[in-house]
Amino acid sequence: MQLVRQADPDRYLSVLYAPEAKRGALFALYAFNAEIARIRDVVSAPMPGEIRLQWWRDAISSGTIEGAGGHPVASALLAAIAEHGLPGAALQNCLDARVFDLYDDAMPGRTELEGYCGETASALIQLAAMILDPHAAPDFAALAGHAGCAQAIALLIRHMPLHRARGQCYVPPEILAAAGLTRDAFIAGEPASAMRAAVSAMAALAGEHHAAFLRGAARIPVSLRPAFLPLAPTAARLDRIEPDTAWTAPATDISALRRQWLFLRRAAKGWG
End-to-end CA distance of the chain: 30
pLDDT (0 to 100) of residue 79:
94
Residues 115 and 218 in one domain: yes
pLDDT tens for 166-220 read: 999 999 999 999 999 999 999 999 999 999 999 999 999 999 999 999 999 999 9
Q: What is the CATH number of the domain that holds 196?
A: 1.10.600.10
Average pLDDT over the chain reads 95
Distance in angstroms (rounded) separating the CA atoms of residues 103 and 116: 14
Q: How far apart are CA 242 and CA 143, in angstroms?
A: 27
CA distance 218 to 271: 5
Q: What integer is the mean pLDDT of 99-109?
A: 95
* pLDDT confidence of residue 66: 73
The answer to whether residues 132 and 253 belong to one domain is: yes
Q: Are residues 209 and 175 in the same domain?
A: yes
Which of 103, 136, 167 lies at the terminal end of a domain, its last residue? 103
The total number of structural domains that make up the chain = 2
Q: Which amino acid, 14?
A: S
> 31 is in which domain, residue-wise?
1-103
Co-location of 127 and 80 in the same domain: no
Q: For residues 125 and 257, state if they share a domain.
A: yes
Domain-ending residue, one of 68, 103, 138: 103
Residues 93 and 116 in one domain: no
Other CB atoms within 10 A of residue 1 CB: 16
